[in-house]
Amino acid sequence: MDYPAGTPPPPRPLRGHPSSSEEGKVETPLRLVLDTNVWLDWLVFDDPSIVIIKAAVAADRAEVFIDAACEEELERVLGYDLGKRAVDIAACIAECARLARRIAPVAKEAQSARLPTCRDPDDQKFLEAALAAGAGFLVTKDRALLDLARRALPFRIVTPAGFAAG
Protein backbone atom coordinates (compact mmCIF):
# COMPACT_ATOMS: atom_id res chain seq x y z
CA MET A 1 0.00 0.00 0.00
CA ASP A 2 1.33 3.47 -0.88
CA TYR A 3 0.96 6.25 1.66
CA PRO A 4 0.38 9.90 0.68
CA ALA A 5 3.48 11.98 -0.02
CA GLY A 6 4.95 13.45 3.13
CA THR A 7 2.89 11.17 5.40
CA PRO A 8 4.88 8.31 6.86
CA PRO A 9 2.96 5.08 7.33
CA PRO A 10 1.83 4.46 10.90
CA PRO A 11 4.06 2.15 12.93
CA ARG A 12 2.87 -1.39 13.46
CA PRO A 13 2.94 -2.66 17.04
CA LEU A 14 5.46 -5.36 17.77
CA ARG A 15 4.37 -8.94 18.27
CA GLY A 16 5.01 -10.49 21.62
CA HIS A 17 5.22 -9.08 25.06
CA PRO A 18 5.01 -5.42 26.03
CA SER A 19 8.20 -3.58 26.80
CA SER A 20 9.60 -4.66 30.14
CA SER A 21 10.56 -1.08 30.98
CA GLU A 22 7.02 0.25 30.87
CA GLU A 23 4.28 -2.22 31.72
CA GLY A 24 1.56 -2.32 29.09
CA LYS A 25 3.39 -0.16 26.54
CA VAL A 26 3.94 -1.75 23.12
CA GLU A 27 7.30 -0.98 21.50
CA THR A 28 7.25 0.43 17.99
CA PRO A 29 9.65 -1.07 15.47
CA LEU A 30 12.66 0.80 14.17
CA ARG A 31 11.99 2.26 10.74
CA LEU A 32 14.69 1.56 8.14
CA VAL A 33 15.44 2.45 4.54
CA LEU A 34 18.09 0.29 2.87
CA ASP A 35 20.13 1.45 -0.10
CA THR A 36 20.59 -0.78 -3.16
CA ASN A 37 23.92 -2.26 -1.98
CA VAL A 38 22.39 -3.34 1.32
CA TRP A 39 19.43 -4.88 -0.52
CA LEU A 40 21.91 -6.78 -2.72
CA ASP A 41 23.68 -8.03 0.40
CA TRP A 42 20.32 -9.28 1.68
CA LEU A 43 18.80 -10.70 -1.49
CA VAL A 44 21.82 -11.92 -3.48
CA PHE A 45 25.00 -12.17 -1.45
CA ASP A 46 23.62 -13.20 1.98
CA ASP A 47 26.29 -10.97 3.51
CA PRO A 48 26.84 -11.61 7.24
CA SER A 49 27.04 -7.85 7.91
CA ILE A 50 23.25 -7.62 7.67
CA VAL A 51 22.36 -10.55 9.93
CA ILE A 52 21.33 -8.12 12.69
CA ILE A 53 19.02 -6.25 10.31
CA LYS A 54 17.46 -9.50 9.08
CA ALA A 55 16.93 -10.67 12.67
CA ALA A 56 15.36 -7.35 13.70
CA VAL A 57 12.95 -7.48 10.75
CA ALA A 58 12.10 -11.14 11.38
CA ALA A 59 11.36 -10.36 15.05
CA ASP A 60 9.28 -7.29 14.13
CA ARG A 61 11.76 -5.02 15.94
CA ALA A 62 12.39 -3.20 12.64
CA GLU A 63 10.45 -2.39 9.50
CA VAL A 64 11.96 -1.70 6.10
CA PHE A 65 10.47 0.89 3.75
CA ILE A 66 11.01 1.42 0.03
CA ASP A 67 9.59 3.76 -2.60
CA ALA A 68 9.16 3.25 -6.33
CA ALA A 69 12.41 5.02 -7.31
CA CYS A 70 14.51 2.90 -4.94
CA GLU A 71 12.78 -0.28 -6.08
CA GLU A 72 13.33 0.62 -9.75
CA GLU A 73 17.06 1.07 -9.09
CA LEU A 74 17.19 -2.26 -7.26
CA GLU A 75 15.50 -4.03 -10.15
CA ARG A 76 17.88 -2.41 -12.65
CA VAL A 77 20.99 -3.33 -10.61
CA LEU A 78 19.78 -6.91 -10.14
CA GLY A 79 20.09 -7.17 -13.94
CA TYR A 80 23.81 -6.31 -13.84
CA ASP A 81 26.52 -8.94 -13.92
CA LEU A 82 26.89 -9.75 -10.22
CA GLY A 83 29.74 -12.19 -10.61
CA LYS A 84 29.07 -15.87 -10.92
CA ARG A 85 25.72 -15.66 -9.14
CA ALA A 86 22.57 -16.49 -11.03
CA VAL A 87 19.98 -13.93 -10.01
CA ASP A 88 16.25 -14.46 -10.30
CA ILE A 89 15.24 -10.81 -10.59
CA ALA A 90 11.51 -11.49 -10.20
CA ALA A 91 12.09 -13.57 -7.07
CA CYS A 92 14.34 -10.89 -5.56
CA ILE A 93 11.79 -8.15 -6.23
CA ALA A 94 9.01 -10.34 -4.79
CA GLU A 95 11.10 -10.89 -1.65
CA CYS A 96 11.73 -7.15 -1.40
CA ALA A 97 7.99 -6.53 -1.70
CA ARG A 98 7.33 -9.09 1.03
CA LEU A 99 9.89 -7.55 3.37
CA ALA A 100 9.39 -3.82 2.77
CA ARG A 101 6.45 -1.50 3.16
CA ARG A 102 5.93 0.63 0.05
CA ILE A 103 5.79 4.39 0.52
CA ALA A 104 4.95 7.26 -1.78
CA PRO A 105 7.75 9.70 -2.58
CA VAL A 106 8.10 12.75 -0.39
CA ALA A 107 6.64 16.04 -1.63
CA LYS A 108 9.60 17.51 -3.51
CA GLU A 109 9.58 21.19 -2.58
CA ALA A 110 8.23 21.34 0.94
CA GLN A 111 9.81 18.39 2.67
CA SER A 112 12.89 17.73 0.54
CA ALA A 113 14.11 21.23 1.35
CA ARG A 114 14.98 19.83 4.81
CA LEU A 115 17.53 17.48 3.24
CA PRO A 116 21.10 18.15 2.19
CA THR A 117 21.99 17.57 -1.44
CA CYS A 118 23.96 14.38 -1.92
CA ARG A 119 27.02 14.81 -4.14
CA ASP A 120 25.80 11.77 -6.11
CA PRO A 121 22.40 12.77 -7.51
CA ASP A 122 21.47 9.09 -7.94
CA ASP A 123 21.61 8.67 -4.15
CA GLN A 124 19.31 11.59 -3.30
CA LYS A 125 16.32 9.24 -3.61
CA PHE A 126 17.46 7.30 -0.52
CA LEU A 127 17.50 10.46 1.59
CA GLU A 128 14.03 11.32 0.29
CA ALA A 129 12.74 7.80 0.99
CA ALA A 130 14.10 7.90 4.56
CA LEU A 131 12.37 11.24 5.11
CA ALA A 132 9.08 10.05 3.58
CA ALA A 133 9.13 6.86 5.69
CA GLY A 134 9.81 8.71 8.91
CA ALA A 135 12.81 6.38 9.16
CA GLY A 136 15.15 6.33 12.09
CA PHE A 137 17.94 4.89 9.94
CA LEU A 138 19.15 4.96 6.36
CA VAL A 139 21.40 1.90 6.12
CA THR A 140 24.02 2.21 3.39
CA LYS A 141 27.54 1.36 2.30
CA ASP A 142 27.65 4.27 -0.13
CA ARG A 143 30.40 6.80 0.58
CA ALA A 144 28.43 9.77 -0.78
CA LEU A 145 25.57 9.03 1.65
CA LEU A 146 27.88 8.19 4.56
CA ASP A 147 29.60 11.55 4.09
CA LEU A 148 26.28 13.14 5.13
CA ALA A 149 26.04 11.11 8.37
CA ARG A 150 27.25 13.96 10.57
CA ARG A 151 24.68 16.40 9.22
CA ALA A 152 21.60 17.27 11.26
CA LEU A 153 18.91 15.06 9.76
CA PRO A 154 15.65 13.58 11.02
CA PHE A 155 17.25 10.11 10.66
CA ARG A 156 20.69 8.56 11.11
CA ILE A 157 22.82 7.40 8.18
CA VAL A 158 24.72 4.25 9.16
CA THR A 159 26.51 1.27 7.68
CA PRO A 160 25.12 -2.19 8.43
CA ALA A 161 27.89 -2.54 11.06
CA GLY A 162 26.95 0.85 12.52
CA PHE A 163 23.33 -0.24 12.78
CA ALA A 164 24.38 -3.48 14.50
CA ALA A 165 26.52 -1.53 16.98
CA GLY A 166 23.47 0.45 18.03
65 touches 32 (CB < 8 A): yes
Q: Is 64 helix (H, G, I), strand (E, B) or coil?
A: strand
Which pLDDT score is estimated for 104? 86
Task: Report residue 63: phi and psi, to 5°.
Answer: -125, 145
What does the pLDDT look like over 96-154, one tens digit per residue?
999 999 998 766 665 667 788 899 989 999 999 999 999 999 999 999 999 999 999 99
Query: What is the share, in percent, of the chain residues with pLDDT greater than 70?
Result: 80
Question: What dotted CATH number matches 30-165?
Answer: 3.40.50.1010
pLDDT at 5 over 60: no
Which pLDDT score is estimated for 21? 44
What does the pLDDT look like over 38-65, one tens digit per residue?
999 999 999 999 999 999 999 999 999 9
Most confident of 10-19, 68-77, 106-115: 68-77
Please state, in angstroms and as integers, the Cα–Cα distance from residue 87 to each residue in 18, 46, 67, 83, 140, following that order. 40, 13, 22, 10, 21
